[in-house]
Structure 1
Amino acid sequence: MKNFSITICLIFYSISGLYSQITLPPDGNKKASVSEYIGITEIKINYSRPAVNGREGKIWGQLVHYGFDDLGYGTSKSAPWRAGANENTTIEFSTDVFIEDKLLAKGKYGFFIAMGTENATLVFSRFSKAWGSFYYKEQDDALRVEVDVQNVEESVERLKYEFVDQTENSAVISMQWEKIKIPFKISADINKIQIESFRREVDSGIFYRYWQNLHMAANYCLMNNMNLEEALSWSDRSINSYFGETNFKTLSTYAGILEKLNRKREADSVMKKGFPLATSEQLVNYGIDLNLQNKHDDAFKIFESNFNQNPDDVYAHLGMVSGYFYLNKKKKALQFCESAKSTTTDKGFLSYIDGVINDINEGKDIFR
């Protein structure tokens, strides 16, 4: 009977490889994922989080080796640190990016760090499915970047990656563990990437069936003063294609692009058709767009005309707020904030207006 049991166990173990491994909780190194967008570019980091666990002063140069070294296991004789624990730390970019101003193509990369006392080498490897760095190969490198190593006062128990210092087109990724921090900057050409996205989508079902999408693509180019000739064709399609629509939004964007292309006469003619189609809210939004283009006098004329026609409309009052604010007449802007509050009982509007008042008093820009 005993021999029969042993035979059954041997058979079980021999066939167990045919089955997927059951899901178990991770070991002491917690798994984590962090992501951030720069424009429409997604950046995602997957990693494991080792703990200091009483090893203060024994992490760097001991537990984590400096530089590239033979770890005594695997095939690599010159391996960097795995930048975490267990399997590869990976970092993925949905578009091309710049790492400290060096171009890196979109894709998923194994991420390693060759540590030093003052500087570290970041390694982005095309092979992202390894366990640690025991089989690291330099020929798989897509990019290496040298960055500073920073000492910090407060110890971080578990290794972490954070996105900090975000701007419109960049963010800093900061690796922190124990009393060491390694920040590196990721940036993207957000306008170029956005235009490329528009081009991929402009003939797809998304753009073809809805004038709003063509209009938004054209208006993006108008507001950023870029790709104007192509934007004009998108704007034209938002009006004149099978699914196009002639309305104030489509006409005003079309006119705005014409003007930037030095075709003001045509632009004025288009706006004559557009103004009678506009609501008070649309006129105010149009005037705000003019302010964003630093056309403050033109914007004020729009706001004033709209207010004279719609004196009881809350949007007309808010237009005057924007008009006076960007003419540096902030007292008048605040007066129209108060008059705007008298035209509505909507709690959301009232709260929004109070926020505008606070921004003006604190010297902040409004309606951006």
Structure 2
Amino acid sequence: MKTLKLFTLCIAIFGLTVAAFAQNDLNLPDVSQAAEVKQRIALTDITITYHRPLVNGRKIWGALVPYGKVWRAGANENTTIEFSDPVSVEGQQLAKGIYGLHMIPNPDSWTVIFSKTNTAWGSYSYKQDEDALRVNVKPRALAEMKEALEFEFEDLKPESTAVVLKWEKLGVPFSVSIKDSDQTLQNIRAQLKGRGQFTWQALDEGAQFCLTRKINLDEALRWADASVQNEERFDNLSTKADILKALNRPDEAKAAWSHALEIATAVQLYSYGRRLQGEKRGADAMEIFQAVAKRFPQTVYGHLAEARIKSAAGDFAGAAAEATEAQNATPTDAQKQSIKALIDRLQSKQDINK
């Protein structure tokens, strides 16, 4: 009995000792500090969480990080990479999710591994049968020394980017791309099942997205019609006209455009002309400016439209005079300054449409 009591007392003391030690654990800085980088491509988020070891005068490649062996691509816990939507990595499909990111370095070629296990400590428990994807990439020399390991996003485009691990004097890039149009269309459809279906703006934006990319035009026309039904505006009528034109339905496009012109304000028409210029549709833009000048003479936008028409014709003096009239007519200092910049260009005989 005494032996049992003594054993129980020892266990209790041991438990208290362990608890005391546990309570005294300190939250101290990591030698390899934690970091996170994030990049959005269209509607897809890419997030990399990792630790940043230092070179600290050591030989890295083929020494601290051996060739031919799986490496954690960082320090401490798993380096992880998260994709909020399905992506392509080096042209190969990868589902959305959080992956453990590992690499196998070699002098001329690296293997980048996306593991289904993302909670491991380093690469010690890595198993190849848990791979979601492997891709081979080429390392490249860096122009500058990177003392601390880092991940960066380079060559950013609307539907792709390059993820680059950089450490010491070496960079290891791999490409990530998405199907922007498909994903965005799904997102638009989902939003238009909610409150967006009751506003003219959301439906018009969805139609504009398709029109700009020349995709899904039949559905875009339905969205444009629904937008007009919610509230008839120059914006959605002009969208509808452009979609009908893209669908090769010229008579309907002309009717929609005529109605859009009837209800357009000066600023709406002028802004539409500027948008056409941004889309490299200069001839169409000039037709709009002519309509503005005809319908809204002696107004700020009427004079600005005339200035652009005359500038395109090489009449810089006449264009400068029209721009000066516009400057005198505008009520705001900000717009006066903006127009002054146009006048300065015209006085230097520069075409303000370019």
With normalisation by structure 1, the TM-score equals 0.81
Instruction: Provide the C-alpha distance between the structure 2 equivalents of 1:202 and 1:51, rounded to a whole number of angstroms.
Output: 49
Q: 1:143 is matched with which residue: 133, 143, 146?
A: 133
- Equivalent residue for 1:224? 213
Which string of whole-angstrom CA distances, capped at 9 and with x for unpartnered residues, describes residues 234-270 of structure 1?
1111122xxx111111111112111111111111112
Q: 1:129-140 maps to which residues of 2 (within 5 A)?
A: 129-140=119-130
1:171 deviates by 1.9
1:153 deviates by 4.3
- Equivalent residue for 1:252? 238
1:43 aligns with 2:32: no
1:6 deviates by 7.8
- Equivalent residue for 2:84? 94
Root-mean-square deviation (Å): 3.5
- Equivalent residue for 1:239? 228
Match of 1:286, SS state, is helix
1:227 deviates by 0.8
- Equivalent residue for 2:177? 187
Q: 2:258 is matched with which residue: 253, 272, 279?
A: 272
The AA in structure 2 aligned to 1:179 is K
1:210 aligns with 2:196: no
1:314 deviates by 4.0
CA contact (8 A) 2:61 2:67 kept: yes
Match of 1:112, SS state, is strand
Q: 1:269-348 maps to which residues of 2 (within 5 A)?
A: 269-319=255-305, 335=320, 340-344=326-330, 346-348=332-334
Q: In the superposition, relative to structure 1, how do residues 221 and 315 fare at CA in structure 2: closer, same or farther (>3 Å)? A: farther
1:140 deviates by 1.9
Question: Could you list the runs of 5+ residues in structure 2 that have no partner in the other structure?
Answer: 1-6
1:287 deviates by 2.1
The AA in structure 2 aligned to 1:64 is V
1:160 deviates by 0.7
1:66 deviates by 1.5
Matched positions, count: 345
Moved more, 214-223 or 166-175: 166-175
CA contact (8 A) 1:156 1:176 kept: yes
- Equivalent residue for 2:3? none
The AA in structure 1 aligned to 2:125 is Y
The AA in structure 2 aligned to 1:180 is L
1:300 deviates by 0.8
The AA in structure 2 aligned to 1:284 is Y
CA contact (8 A) 2:308 2:352 kept: no
Q: In the superposition, relative to structure 1, how do residues 150 and 330 fare at CA in structure 2: closer, same or farther (>3 Å)? A: farther
Match of 1:165, SS state, is strand
Q: Looking at secondary structure, tell me which structure has more helix per residue.
A: 2
Q: In the superposition, relative to structure 1, how do residues 52 and 265 fare at CA in structure 2: closer, same or farther (>3 Å)? A: same
CA contact (8 A) 1:44 1:91 kept: yes
Q: In the superposition, relative to structure 1, how do residues 5 and 95 fare at CA in structure 2: closer, same or farther (>3 Å)? A: same
Match of 2:156, SS state, is coil
- Equivalent residue for 2:36? 33
Using the aligned pairs only, state the percent identity.
Answer: 35
CA contact (8 A) 1:290 1:298 kept: yes
- Equivalent residue for 2:16? 12
The AA in structure 1 aligned to 2:200 is W
- Equivalent residue for 1:67? 68
The AA in structure 2 aligned to 1:49 is R
CA contact (8 A) 2:273 2:289 kept: yes
- Equivalent residue for 1:75? none
- Equivalent residue for 1:72? none
Q: 1:119 is matched with which residue: 99, 103, 109?
A: 109
- Equivalent residue for 2:4? none
Moved more, 283-292 or 261-270: 283-292
Instruction: Provide the C-alpha distance between the structure 1 equivalents of 2:96 and 2:313, rounded to a whole number of angstroms.
Output: 45
The AA in structure 1 aligned to 2:15 is I
Instruction: Provide the C-alpha distance between the structure 2 equivalents of 1:22 and 1:194, rounded to a whole number of angstroms.
Output: 48
With normalisation by structure 2, the TM-score equals 0.84
1:357 deviates by 8.3
- Equivalent residue for 2:186? 196
1:156 deviates by 0.9
CA contact (8 A) 2:342 2:352 kept: no
Q: In the superposition, relative to structure 1, how do residues 172 and 321 fare at CA in structure 2: closer, same or farther (>3 Å)? A: farther
1:307 deviates by 2.5
Instruction: Provide the C-alpha distance between the structure 2 equivalents of 1:103 and 1:269, rounded to a whole number of angstroms.
Output: 45
